[in-house]
Amino acid sequence: MKRDTPFTLLTNGTALSWADVPEWPLAEFLRNVGAELGRGERLSSFFGVPEGDALRLVAVLAFDAGNTLAVGRSQSFSGSFPALTATHAQAHLFEREIWEQHGVVPENHPWLKPVRKDHGAGPAVGDFFRVDGREIHEVAVGPVHAGIIEPGHFRFQCAGEEVLHLEIALGFQHRGVEEAIAGGPHRATVYQMETVAGDTTIGHATAYANALEALAGTEAPLRAQWLRAIALELERLANHTGDLGALAGDVAFLPTASACGKIRGDFLNLTALLCGNRFGRGLVRPGGCLLDGDTERLSQLRKRLETALAEVQQAAAWLWDAASVRTRFEHTGHLHAKQAAAIGLVGPAARACGLVRDVRFDHPTGWHRFAQVPVSVWPDGDVFARARVRWLEIQRSGDFLREQLDAVPEGETMSSLPALAPNSLAVALVEGWRGEVCHVALTGADGKLRRYKITDPSFHNWTGLALALRGQAISDFPLCNKSFNLSYCGFDL
């Protein structure tokens, strides 16, 4: 579907010359981006590229219905720019990030504060949005939490039990991932990509590999693409199963909680069967996959998969059958489809608001061009819907794996990677288990990575959790939080 747009269109997992990215004066660029967002398109990535002392802005839009991506850039400028956020909430964190990373000020940004950097005493120290009134009290949680969880700070404004507003302050996990890639790829880069969010190793490593392959003008061998798709669904199965268990645990429904804790491990062990590591480290590399599965290994995988799927089916049946679970899940942490679209929500959380968006379907790359996974949607936008979408996806990932493991493509899994094309831009999206993983790579004249922008699905989705909490009892926070289960380090980079 072609339609009139000033942006240059490109397909997921491809590259184009930096010179072919249309360039406009700043005001026109922002107008163009705003116009597309106004039409309901999605902002996949929005970032700065330094040029001397000045800066250019680059926008990557996803035209989901048109199955295409669109890129454009501004001419270089310095000082400030009128914030898109004032009219388009999707740009909210991106513009804060641009300000933090490059020092240009998004004017009239309604909530301009750091995203992740330490400004003296730690990232959470600063002004929080405050609700005033005699009945109002404030609750502060974190950065260190009560369980084995990554750190983040949550600031609630409450009237009694009711949360009026939640502000989420992150940045505690900042490891300097993007900065370190500049001038690369370096020897450690691929290992860092595998640990951008350690529970999404396959998702991020695949996006990185796709981006580099696009820049090198090559594709991974088919069997490697197939293997990546297998590993991606195993990653989804493990995490979704873990999430169902955690949600059950949070409403004190122990049969499913304890069963899923174990089954999650069984899925992780299937990944370990492929590559030795439960999180998929060492499997995906630019150029292909480092390891292969022989017939014996794959049939073992197929067999153990069946057992784990049968067990998770059983554990889920208990969950859906329990009235006590339903009453706790239904109407809790509700998010409207309209809000979800406005903030650019992605992944299962978006699909649980009835939004039909899934990179595997809208922007298929790799093996997903040949084998589709149906999009799982549930309309209600509450904890129940988010749990339900996970369960639908578990079943569909299971079906996908069964089908794929019965029709193994032949061939190599690794090819050598040619040099990266200089002055080129590549975009790679992958539907990780939390949603859209977006990597944008830009090379300089020397063919080295000049700018590398990573957007974990959590970057879009934390705002969704904050909105879902409005009007909820504060005691429902853990349940709502688990129903999103977002990444801290993927956000903090």
Q: Which residues bind another protein (CB under 8 A)?
A: 116, 118, 121-123, 143-144, 146-151, 171-177, 179-180, 187-188, 190-192, 194-199, 201, 242, 255, 258-259, 261-262, 264-265, 269, 272-279, 281-282, 291, 314, 317-318, 321, 487-489, 492
Q: How far apart are CA 117 and CA 101, in angstroms?
A: 9
Question: Residue 459, Cα to own-chain centre: how many angstroms?
Answer: 7
- The least CB distance from residue 338 to ligand SF4, in Å, is 37
For residues 202 and 401, which CB has a smaller minimum distance to ligand SF4 in the complex? 202
How many Cα atoms within 13 Å fall on the side-chain side of residue 27? Answer: 0
Residue 173 near which of another protein, ligand SF4, none (CB within 5-8 Å, type-dependent): another protein
- The least CB distance from residue 489 to another protein, in Å, is 5
Residues 76, 79, 82, CA angle at the centre, nearest 5°? 85
Distances (CA, A) of 169 to 27, 102, 129: 31, 20, 11
For residues 66 and 151, which CB has a smaller minimum distance to another protein in the complex? 151
Q: How far apart are CA 426 and CA 440, in angstroms?
A: 6
SS3 399: helix
Residue 45 near which of ligand SF4, another protein, none (CB within 5-8 Å, type-dependent): none
For residues 335 and 437, which CB has a smaller minimum distance to ligand SF4 in the complex? 437
- The least CB distance from residue 290 to another protein, in Å, is 9
For residues 186 and 448, which CB has a smaller minimum distance to another protein in the complex? 186
CB count in 10 Å sphere of residue 85 = 20
For residues 427 and 489, which CB has a smaller minimum distance to another protein in the complex? 489
- The least CB distance from residue 277 to another protein, in Å, is 7
- The least CB distance from residue 332 to another protein, in Å, is 23
By beta carbon distance, the residue nearest ligand SF4 is: 195
Q: Which backbone phi and psi does 235 adopt, to 5 degrees?
A: -65, -40
Residues touching ligand SF4, count (CB under 6 A): 2
- The least CB distance from residue 264 to another protein, in Å, is 8
For residues 52 and 416, which CB has a smaller minimum distance to another protein in the complex? 416
Q: Residues 397, 401, 404, 409: is their CA dihedral positive or negative?
A: positive
Q: How far apart are CA 153 and CA 29, in angstroms?
A: 35
Residue 262 near which of another protein, ligand SF4, none (CB within 5-8 Å, type-dependent): another protein
CB count in 10 Å sphere of residue 273 = 17
Could you say which of 34, 66, 82, 198 contacts ligand SF4 (CB under 6 A)?
Answer: 198
- The least CB distance from residue 191 to ligand SF4, in Å, is 8
Site for ligand SF4 in 336-395 (CB under 6 A): none
- Beta strands 424-432 and 153-159, pairing class: unpaired
Q: How far apart are CA 40 and CA 253, in angstroms?
A: 40
Q: Are the C-beta atoms of residues 181 and 189 closer than 8 Å to each other? A: yes
Pull the structure tokens for residue 123: 């990232």
For residues 75 and 277, which CB has a smaller minimum distance to ligand SF4 in the complex? 277
- The least CB distance from residue 311 to another protein, in Å, is 9
For residues 84 and 257, which CB has a smaller minimum distance to another protein in the complex? 257
For 71, the enclosing helix (H) or strand (E) is: strand 68-74
Q: How far apart are CA 175 and CA 398, in angstroms?
A: 35
- The least CB distance from residue 198 to ligand SF4, in Å, is 4
Residue 255 near which of ligand SF4, another protein, none (CB within 5-8 Å, type-dependent): another protein
For residues 251 and 353, which CB has a smaller minimum distance to another protein in the complex? 251
The C-alpha torsion from 331 through 336 and 340 to 346, rounded to 10°, is 40
Q: Which backbone phi and psi does 65 adopt, to 5 degrees?
A: -65, -30
Residue 422 near which of another protein, ligand SF4, none (CB within 5-8 Å, type-dependent): none
- The least CB distance from residue 175 to another protein, in Å, is 5
SS3 13: coil
For residues 123 and 381, which CB has a smaller minimum distance to another protein in the complex? 123
Residue 72: what residue type?
A: G
Q: How far apart are CA 220 and CA 212, in angstroms?
A: 10
Residue 488 near which of ligand SF4, another protein, none (CB within 5-8 Å, type-dependent): another protein
Closest CA to 115 of 94, 129, 131, 136: 94
- The least CB distance from residue 245 to another protein, in Å, is 9
For residues 196 and 312, which CB has a smaller minimum distance to ligand SF4 in the complex? 196
Q: How far apart are CA 453 and CA 182, in angstroms?
A: 10
Could you say which of 5, 157, 189, 195 contacts ligand SF4 (CB under 6 A)?
Answer: 195
Residue 487 near which of another protein, ligand SF4, none (CB within 5-8 Å, type-dependent): another protein
- The least CB distance from residue 185 to ligand SF4, in Å, is 17
Q: How far apart are CA 177 and CA 452, in angstroms?
A: 9
Q: How far apart are CA 388 and CA 382, in angstroms?
A: 10
For residues 167 and 311, which CB has a smaller minimum distance to another protein in the complex? 311
Residue 151 near ligand SF4 by CB under 6 A: no
Q: How far apart are CA 396 and CA 362, in angstroms?
A: 17
Q: Residues 344, 350, 355, 358: is their CA dihedral positive or negative?
A: positive
Name the residues that contact ligand SF4, by CB under 6 A.
Answer: 195, 198
